[in-house]
Amino acid sequence: MDVLVVFASRAGATAEIAERIGERVARAGHHVVVRPVTESVDPARHDAVVLGSAVYLGHWLKEATGFARRNRPALSGRPLWLFSSGPLGTEQLDDEGRDLREVSAPEELPELLETLSPRDHRVFFGALDPRRLSLPHRALRKLPAGRRILPEGDFRDWREVDSWATGIATQLTGSET
């Protein structure tokens, strides 16, 4: 199958997750194209789509949400998976005992689930390299609370990403038969 992995990334961590997903799906024998949502890509030209975005302040990046809304007919008419990249740090639970991946899902998720009917949505922990931050985010990190909200480090669980991508590849292979 021809698979499009399309993403919105601000500092590169989400792009690296998308590349990794693409590599895993390609290993299973599928043709994979990995592109940022800002490039001119037509999901209707592919058999299946994986769409992901970084999450900032509880929202997908505007370019990812715009891509999903503009391409709703094409996306909802084929196998689709969504992923979000966002929580930072080593804690799996928030102060109230809730799974950070659940509370870190973007506010747009209910709309995306309803209008696109994806097969799955997954939240992956992200990474933060302060050198890649915008000026306002670098200024925020100078505050003690900012460093707590935006801890430096790579918190991505590559085994989790690989497992999810392998599951996508398996579903795609099963849908060919």
Residue 39 one-letter amino acid: E
pLDDT of residue 176: 46
Token pair, residue 172, equals 């795609």
**Which tokens sit at 107?**
């506010």
Q: What is the pLDDT of residue 177?
A: 33
What is the predicted pLDDT for the residue at 163? 97
| 87 against 176, higher pLDDT | 87
High-pLDDT (> 70) share of the chain, %: 79
171 vs 151, more confident? 171
Confidence of residue 90 (pLDDT cuts 50, 70, 90): low
Please give the class, per CATH, of domain 2-176. alpha beta
Q: What is the mean pLDDT of residues 88-95?
A: 61
Supply the DSSP string of 73-140, one letter for each residue.
HHHHTS-EEEEEE---SS-SB-TTS-BHHHHTS-TTHHHHHHHH--SEEEEE--EE-GGGS-HHHHHH
Domain locations along the chain: 2-176
Question: Which whole number is the average pLDDT over 8-18?
Answer: 93
- Distance set, CA 24 to CA 47, 68, 77, 95, 167 (Å): 17, 23, 23, 34, 10
